[in-house]
Structure 1
Amino acid sequence: MAQQPGAAPPAVGVIAASRQPVTQSTEYIARIQATNRVNLVARVSAYLDEVLFTEGTEVKKGDLLYRLEQGPFRADVQAKEALVAQFKAQLKNAQAVLDRTEQLLKTPAGQKAAYDAASAAEQALKAQILGAEAQLQQSRINLDYTEIKAPIDGKIGRTAVTAGNYVSNSTGTLVSIVSQDPMYVVFPVPTRTVMELQRRSGGKSSALVIRIRLPDGSLYDRTGRLDFVDNSVTGNTDTMLLRGAVPNPRQGGGRMLVDGQLVTAVLEDVEPTDALAVPRAAVLADQEGDYVFVVDKDNKAEKRRVKLGQSTPAFASIISGLKDGESVIVDGIQRVRPGQTVSPGPPAAQVQPPPGTVTGGARQ
């Protein structure tokens, strides 16, 4: 629509496109995973006497969780100890016999055959003692298995069995423990994006930082580092799995990150890069793509196609289509038509990037 003769040019607020430090970032749907997970099973068969933990609480490594019936295993240990003692007594007698036959060899009454028999008997008893001691050690191990202890620090789940039930290795998992601090954040990334991240970071994982957006939309107050990139591509999605480790300390009696939790991983550069930035409100879009209105030296509005880089609700970085210092319309943009003369001025609200960096937020 052409401007009517005599009508005053519409007043618009403009701001100069300027280069700003922009922290490149991308967002991915992610899962929280415990760094360690243990499924406890019974290693001996016995009746369960006691469950010694509270479900859903945190336990320490070495805490006693289950106690199985110990009577039969203690009796077995005592029987094996008696057998070892018996063989040791027999060995003592065999050694005395061997000593006597050895002394007799120095006299006319000594016989080599008797000495050889006594020596063989001594060696046989030594071997029997070794076997009995091995059986005793196995019995003691089985007795120890009647006390099931936490192998790691972590949060314990629900018990699958209660006291009075008969358990064995075939019973399956009695309870699971998942570690709490730190936690992994795991997310798939398109292969092409992984290559771009590697170029941006120079192949150094320390050049990237991971932030987490919690399910309620808030940003978690701890950051993590990328520590793993999978060695293969998932064929049906053409993605690679990335993983970072994030601290998960106790806060206010609980922890913010939970194993299996669905979150958003924000992967961003540690060091910002210099990029041309404009207020996000200046960017419009139609079927052909993104554009802005630029005011030229004659105060005429020009529709300019632009290619966006990283953007946030406040600011957008411009890859192409604008030059540093050009005046971009921010206020009154709805009244502007291409080629129309306008009356530029400062924006109604001072639009300036916050101190520091302008952070991107492209979602994957």
Structure 2
Amino acid sequence: MRTAICTVFIVCGFVAPAAAQQAPPATIPVGVVKAEHKSIEKTLDFVGRVEAVNRVEIRARVQGFLEAVLFKEGDPIKEGDALYRIEKGLFQAAVEQAEGALVRSKASKTLTEAQLARAEDLLAKNAGTTVARDQAFAADEQAKGQILSDEASLQTAKINLGYTDIVAPVSGRIGRTNITKGNVVGPDSGPLTVVVSQEPMYVTFPVSQRDFLRSREEAHQIDLKAIKAKLRFADGKTYDQTGQINFVDVTVDRATDTVLVRATFPNPAGGLIDGQLVRVTLESGTPQEMVVVPQSALIADQEGVYVFVVEDGKAVVKRIKPGGESGTDAVVQEGLSGNEQVIVEGLQGVRPGIPVKASPLTTLKRS
């Protein structure tokens, strides 16, 4: 009798776990949103860098003591504004010295002109020689050449004197000064500071050969002037100005196999800074009917991007090919046909094939 009871317990011990393993998984509640068809402008995303239209390194063109720094670092400046002043004394003296040399050469020219005229007059009266006339002519030509040389020296001295006042060659915003008052500066001192223009700004970005060739095939369908360029900053905020493509490079970068493209953007408030890294989105301006889903539904793994959809009360994986963003939605190029019930809430407990209870979400904001 005792043996029979033990046998019953042993059998029950094996049967109970087996029955527990065969129990169906619990149904998980999830929130779903229908994949919608939406009129979307065709877009391409790139990584770009902001560049000033004019970026000028300010350098000293003559050597001397830096007498004054005449700007405040970081301030906006206008073309022609004074930036630095180099001590003028030696350069002013060089101008006066050149002026004196020019006066002397002009006086010599007056004398040689008179001597040439006298030699020619004597020769005409057979009272002088041809040699004397030729010597007088040569002396007069030398005096003329000396005047030209002294005039050039005076002009050079005046130019060098002008270089002691260093002014802004372009309008824009000025950086910090690398050399302060009292130091000796010269052509070998390197940049004293940098001036970058502010309005407008360039944004350059590399385009892969694949995208470039595809755009050339579609060029007859798309007006380049209709392509709008938009920017997004590192914090995700969108720049409030729209740009336009104004240049496509004529060569391919052999290291990256890309073509450099440039767009021009207005910069009235100075929001774009030279050297800044941004995301560039190109919109063709020709709307196309595309499928969109909330970005919160996207899941990425080593194989790519996918979403969970509800089919016959179960969670099913759908591999998709994203095609950019449209506000809070993600554009789906491949993988969904529209009207699928896409899971956006409760994804933590969802596994492929697990039963789910779908509840449409009506409070999810979509743009």
Any gaps of 5 or more consecutive residues in structure 2? 1-23
Residue of 257, 263, 279 corresponding to 1:264: 279
Which residue number in structure 2 is paired with residue 349 of structure 1? 362
Question: The residue matched to 2:286 in structure 1 has which SS?
Answer: coil
Change (3 A) 1:268 1:85: same
Q: Is the 8 A contact 1:28 1:265 kept in 2?
A: yes
Residue of 194, 210, 214 corresponding to 1:192: 210
How far the C-alpha of 1:113 sits from its partner, in A, is 2.7
Which residue number in structure 2 is paired with residue 152 of structure 1? 170
User: Structure 1 vs Structure 2: percent identity of aligned residues?
Assistant: 36
Any gaps of 5 or more consecutive residues in structure 1? 5-9, 355-364
Q: Is the 8 A contact 2:315 2:351 kept in 1?
A: no
Q: Is the 8 A contact 2:305 2:321 kept in 1?
A: no
Distance in structure 2 (CA, Å) of the matches to 1:332 and 1:179: 46
Q: Deviations over 1:188-228 (max 9, x none)?
A: 34332333344445486434322111233221110112233
Change (3 A) 1:209 1:143: same
Q: Is the 8 A contact 2:30 2:356 kept in 1?
A: no
Which residue number in structure 1 is paired with residue 100 of structure 2? 82
How far the C-alpha of 1:257 sits from its partner, in A, is 1.2
Question: The residue matched to 1:160 in structure 2 has which SS?
Answer: coil
Distance in structure 2 (CA, Å) of the matches to 1:341 and 1:33: 52
Question: The residue matched to 1:170 in structure 2 has which SS?
Answer: coil
Q: Is the 8 A contact 2:304 2:319 kept in 1?
A: no
Distance in structure 2 (CA, Å) of the matches to 1:66 and 1:225: 37
Letter in 2 for 1:232: V
How far the C-alpha of 1:108 sits from its partner, in A, is 4.2
Q: Is the 8 A contact 1:282 1:328 kept in 2?
A: no
TM-score where L is the length of structure 1:
0.76
Distance in structure 2 (CA, Å) of the matches to 1:269 and 1:62: 41
Q: Is the 8 A contact 1:36 1:178 kept in 2?
A: yes
Distance in structure 2 (CA, Å) of the matches to 1:337 and 1:130: 93
Which residue number in structure 2 is paired with residue 361 of structure 1? none
Q: Is the 8 A contact 1:234 1:240 kept in 2?
A: no
Q: Deviations over 1:134-170 (max 9, x none)?
A: 1111111111111111111121111121222111111
1:225 aligns to 2:237 (yes or no): no
Change (3 A) 1:97 1:34: same
Residue of 219, 229, 232 corresponding to 1:213: 232
Distance in structure 2 (CA, Å) of the matches to 1:67 and 1:285: 60
Question: The residue matched to 1:96 in structure 2 has which SS?
Answer: helix
Change (3 A) 1:247 1:341: closer
Question: The residue matched to 1:54 in structure 2 has which SS?
Answer: coil
Question: The residue matched to 2:340 in structure 1 has which SS?
Answer: strand
Q: Is the 8 A contact 2:35 2:291 kept in 1?
A: no
Q: CA RMSD in A?
A: 3.9
Distance in structure 2 (CA, Å) of the matches to 1:69 and 1:333: 72
1:45 aligns to 2:63 (yes or no): yes
How far the C-alpha of 1:70 sits from its partner, in A, is 1.0
Question: The residue matched to 1:258 in structure 2 has which SS?
Answer: coil
Which residue number in structure 1 is paired with residue 3 of structure 2? none
TM-score where L is the length of structure 2:
0.75
Quick check: which has more Rg, 1 or 2? Answer: 2
